[in-house]
Amino acid sequence: MERMILGYVVLLLGAIAALAVLAERRRRRFEPQPTEDTIFRCGKCAFVYTDDQDVEVSRCPQCGATNEAVEF
């Protein structure tokens, strides 16, 4: 009798673990990929935009002001 209960518990825990693994795989597949771009925020118009990773100072596409990268 104890083996039967243990078997059910192990089977239930295995099913929960399998569902968790499948849910994580699905979440990663539909989640947007992180970008390598640098984030900038314009000091003049407060527009937030991205530019290439190797750029230290970028020109704002809205107002044309030059800005330095935002560091978190």
User: What's the structural domain count of the chain?
Assistant: 2
Question: pLDDT digit string (tens) for 37-63?
Answer: 889 999 999 999 988 888 889 999 999
Would you list the DSSP string of the chain? Answer: -HHHHHHHHHHHHHHHHHHHHHHHHHHHHHSPPPP-PEEEE-TTT--EEEE-TT-SEEE-TTT--EEEBP--
Q: Say whether both 45 and 19 belong to one domain.
A: no
> Are residues 26 and 3 part of one domain?
yes
Q: Note the pLDDT of residue 9.
A: 96
Across the chain, mean pLDDT equals 91
Instruction: Specify whether 24 is located in the same domain as 45.
Output: no
Percent of the chain whose pLDDT exceeds 70: 100
Is residue 45 located within the same domain as residue 25? no
Q: Name the nearest CA neighbour of 40 among 56, 27, 20.
A: 56
- Is pLDDT of 36 > 90? no
pLDDT at residue 72 is higher than 80: no
Contact 66, 59 (CB under 8 A): yes
State which residues form the domain around 60: 38-68
